[in-house]
Amino acid sequence: MEARIACLPSERTLTAEAGGIVMDAIYAAGIPIASSCGGQGVCGDCRVRVVAGRTHLAAAYPDPGPWVLRHGEPDGEVLSCRVTATGPVTLATSYW
C-alpha cells in the first residue's frame, strides 16, 4: 500500500510506502527537508505544515521525541521524522 504526499508550494507529489517515515520518503524523492539531528526528533527542523490529510498521519514511535517533549506538539505541524503516512496528505514548508 502506498500514500501520496503532495508538497506545497512546489506542488511536487511523491508516493511513499504506507507506514514509512515521511521525512525519509521526502528525502528519497529528492525534495529537500531540513534536519540537523538526522531524524532523531531532537532539532525540530523537519517540521512541516499539514495542509490536508491530518488523519492519514500517524506517530511512527511510541514516544513523541525530545523536541516535542520540550516544546509540545506543534500547532498545525508535524515533525516529518516522527510520522508515517497512511493515506494522501498535503504538506507545506516555506522552502519547497
- Which parts of 19-58 interact with ligand FES (CB under 6 A)? 35, 37, 39-46
Least distance (Å) from ligand FES to the CB of residue 79?
5
**Residue 77 binds ligand FES, judged by CB under 6 A:** no
Whichever of 14 and 79 has its CB closer to ligand FES, that residue is 79
Residues 23 and 81: beta-carbon distance below 8 Å: yes
- Residue from 10, 64, 13 nearest 42 by CA: 64
Q: 27 is written with which cell numbers?
A: 528525502
Between CA 65 and CA 47 the distance in angstroms is 13
User: Which residues would be at the binding site for ligand FES (CB under 6 A)?
Assistant: 35, 37, 39-46, 67, 79, 81
